[in-house]
Chains A and B, each alone.
Chain A
Amino acid sequence: MIIVVDYDIGNVKSVCNALRHIGCEAKLSRLPEDIETASGLVLPGVAAFCYAVKALGREAESVKKAALSGKPLLGICVGYQMLFEQSCEYGVHKGLGLIKGKVVPIPAGRVIPHMGWNIVKPSPDMKLFAGLEKEKHFYFAHSFYAEVADPDAKIAYTDYGFDFAASVQKKNIYGTQFHPEKSGPQGLRILKNFARICERGKQKC
């Protein structure tokens, strides 16, 4: 069972809908026992960073503990940004610190928010992007982006007048700045890949 962490913000339901559509057992929950027994976790998010961090509250520790114990975790959009050490959206706020880097504003000189479908270029042989052609469009909606300090963690790029990390992976911790649950068939494929990663994780245990 994949647990979509329900922390009282935006479109948490969309991720659940998408996971169920691809035949995955998924549930919205924020209970520590669900987080602990899940085969994998999804941290979704449509909100300002500080609001999201506040809303996640005590569950932050459960999520962090689960991720550090090796449980697959996928952060999406603000959920992705929360994987990093800090963000400067509406003041400086601490993230989960699972991946080195900080969240900063998209540089001026272009339309902000970066909203719509843009090309994502994954590095070769990435499990999260398995079966997807090299360059596919995914749906983005954000005004801040992660400056990833750990170069090995960057697994896909997007060009919006400057290159930024569209996706990261550090061991069992995954993240996408774009919304796979809202990126049509290619997005569902990403979720399917993550579901497979969770399955394998479970077998190992």
Chain B
Amino acid sequence: MLTKRIIPCLDVKDNRVVKGVHFLNLRDAGDPVELGTRYSEEGADELVFLDITATIRFRKTIIELVEKVAENVFIPFTVGGGVQTIEQIDTLLRSGAEKVSINTAAVENPKLIAKAAERFGNQCVVLAIDARRSKKQSGKWQVCVKAGTEPTELDVVEWAVKAEKLGAGEILLTSMDADGTLAGYDNKLNKAVSDAVDIPVIASGGAGKLEHLYDAIIDGDVDAVLMASITHFGNYTINQMKEYLKTRGIPVNL
């Protein structure tokens, strides 16, 4: 049986790991190479690296940093941030990433998902969605792009279903409402997307306590939980999270 995955996330800006609340008020959280090495050694199941400086454009300068992080990371490594083309995906995979996450560019050009899946296999293509509760319709979420700065008319669940059909292998689902609040994941959002697709869903945004991880897996029905604040600032180790989930009957890689 596959285990549920614990995935720390490095949001990288100007070569430093940062973490904010609702995507704003960023706080320094350390050096990406050091943190990446630590999580790989501590037993994280994967590592996600998002260049949040990129927002709109892919920055070539990030490649060097990705290479450095990858040198010490012996767990699956996903990289994203401003990725727009097949060539950029290829470059990232050659730099040591196993998977590449696409966000804004996929919304603007959904064919990119299909092209990437065809070339690199769908296990390589992670669709990242930044979701915000709709003010117009309750129980709905809208897709936001450009690092969450621009809301679109796209419905999150519909977009996830479409992306799966196009060839996305996984969905990294971030709740902008919950991001950095430490108040728990948005499990209504997680459940709505998990129910609609068959590919794995990674819950992101809001982890503050150990039970939040459990709730996302049970109530949100997700395959993996991503976190930043609670690991970067030392609240919990990866091992503590896994031990906790294990005692509650969740299969983990321990």
User: Which residues does chain A contribute within 8 Å of B228, judged by CB atoms?
Assistant: none
Q: What separation, in Å, do the CA atoms of A11 and B120 have in the docked complex?
A: 11
Which among B43, B74, B76, B77 is the interface contact of A141 at CB below 8 angstroms?
Answer: B76
Judging by beta carbons under 8 Å apart, are A117 and B121 in contact?
no
Shortest Cβ distance from B1 into chain A, in angstroms? 7
Q: A21-B72, A115-B200, A116-B2 are in contact. Are A13 and B120 (CB under 8 A)?
A: no
Q: What separation, in Å, do the CA atoms of A131 and B246 have in the docked complex?
A: 24
User: Which residues does chain A contribute within 8 Å of B96, judged by CB atoms?
Assistant: 11, 13-14, 17
Give the residues from 168 to 206 in chain B that come closer than 8 angstroms, CB to CB, to chain A: 169-170, 198-200
Judging by beta carbons under 8 Å apart, are B45 and A117 in contact?
yes
User: Which residues does chain B contribute within 8 Å of A172, judged by CB atoms?
Assistant: none
User: Which residues does chain A contribute within 8 Å of B120, judged by CB atoms?
Assistant: 10, 46-47
Shortest Cβ distance from A47 into chain B, in angstroms? 7
- Bin the interface of chain B by size: 20 to 34
SS of A interface (majority): mixed
**A159 close to B (CB within 8 Å):** yes
**B3 close to A (CB within 8 Å):** yes
Give A44-88 as 1s and 0s: 1 = Cβ < 8 Å from B's Cβ atoms: 001110010000000000000000000000000000000000000
- Tally of contacts, chain A with chain B, CB under 8 A: 99
Q: What separation, in Å, do the CA atoms of A138 and B200 have in the docked complex?
A: 18
- Bin the interface of chain A by size: 35 or more
Give A174-199 as 1s and 0s: 1 = Cβ < 8 Å from B's Cβ atoms: 00000101111101100000000000
**B155 close to A (CB within 8 Å):** no
**A205 close to B (CB within 8 Å):** no
User: Which residues does chain A contribute within 8 Å of B123, judged by CB atoms?
Assistant: 46, 113, 115, 141-143
Q: What separation, in Å, do the CA atoms of A125 and B75 have in the docked complex?
A: 26
User: Which residues does chain B contribute within 8 Å of A94, judged by CB atoms?
Assistant: none
**B93 close to A (CB within 8 Å):** yes
Which among B5, B43, B93 is the interface contact of A46 at CB below 8 angstroms?
Answer: B93
Q: What separation, in Å, do the CA atoms of A12 and B98 have in the docked complex?
A: 10
Shortest Cβ distance from A116 into chain B, in angstroms? 4
Nearest A residue (CB) for B2: A116
Q: A46-B93, A116-B5, A117-B3 are in contact. Are A13 and B121 (CB under 8 A)?
A: no
**A100 close to B (CB within 8 Å):** no
Judging by beta carbons under 8 Å apart, are A184 and B95 in contact?
no
Judging by beta carbons under 8 Å apart, are B74 and A116 in contact?
no
Give A148-163 as 1s and 0s: 1 = Cβ < 8 Å from B's Cβ atoms: 0000000000011000
Q: A14-B98, A21-B74 are in contact. Are A116 and B124 (CB under 8 A)?
A: no
Q: A137-B253, A184-B40 are in contact. Are A13 and B76 (CB under 8 A)?
A: no
Shortest Cβ distance from B41 into chain A, in angstroms? 8
Q: A17-B71, A46-B120, A46-B121 are in contact. Are A118 and B76 (CB under 8 A)?
A: no
Q: What separation, in Å, do the CA atoms of A48 and B93 have in the docked complex?
A: 15
User: Which residues does chain A contribute within 8 Å of B200, judged by CB atoms?
Assistant: 111, 115-116
Give A1-45 as 1s and 0s: 1 = Cβ < 8 Å from B's Cβ atoms: 000000000111110011001000000000000000000000000
Which among B76, B124, B224 is the interface contact of A182 at CB below 8 angstroms?
Answer: B76
Q: What separation, in Å, do the CA atoms of A29 and B124 have in the docked complex?
A: 24
Q: What separation, in Å, do the CA atoms of A118 and B223 have in the docked complex?
A: 13
**A114 close to B (CB within 8 Å):** yes
Q: What separation, in Å, do the CA atoms of A12 and B122 have in the docked complex?
A: 18
List 15 additional contacts besides A13-B94, A117-B5, A137-B253; criterion CB under 8 Å.
Answer: A14-B70, A14-B96, A46-B121, A111-B198, A115-B2, A116-B200, A116-B223, A139-B45, A139-B76, A141-B98, A142-B123, A179-B76, A182-B74, A185-B74, A188-B74
14 contacts between A and B (CB under 8 A): A11-B94, A11-B96, A11-B97, A14-B70, A111-B200, A113-B123, A118-B3, A139-B75, A142-B123, A159-B1, A182-B74, A182-B77, A184-B74, A188-B74
On B, residues with C-beta under 8 Å from A are: 1-3, 5, 40, 43, 45, 70-72, 74-77, 93-98, 119-124, 169-170, 198-200, 223-224, 253
List the 3 closest pairs (A to B, CB-CB), nearest first. A137-B253, A117-B253, A141-B123
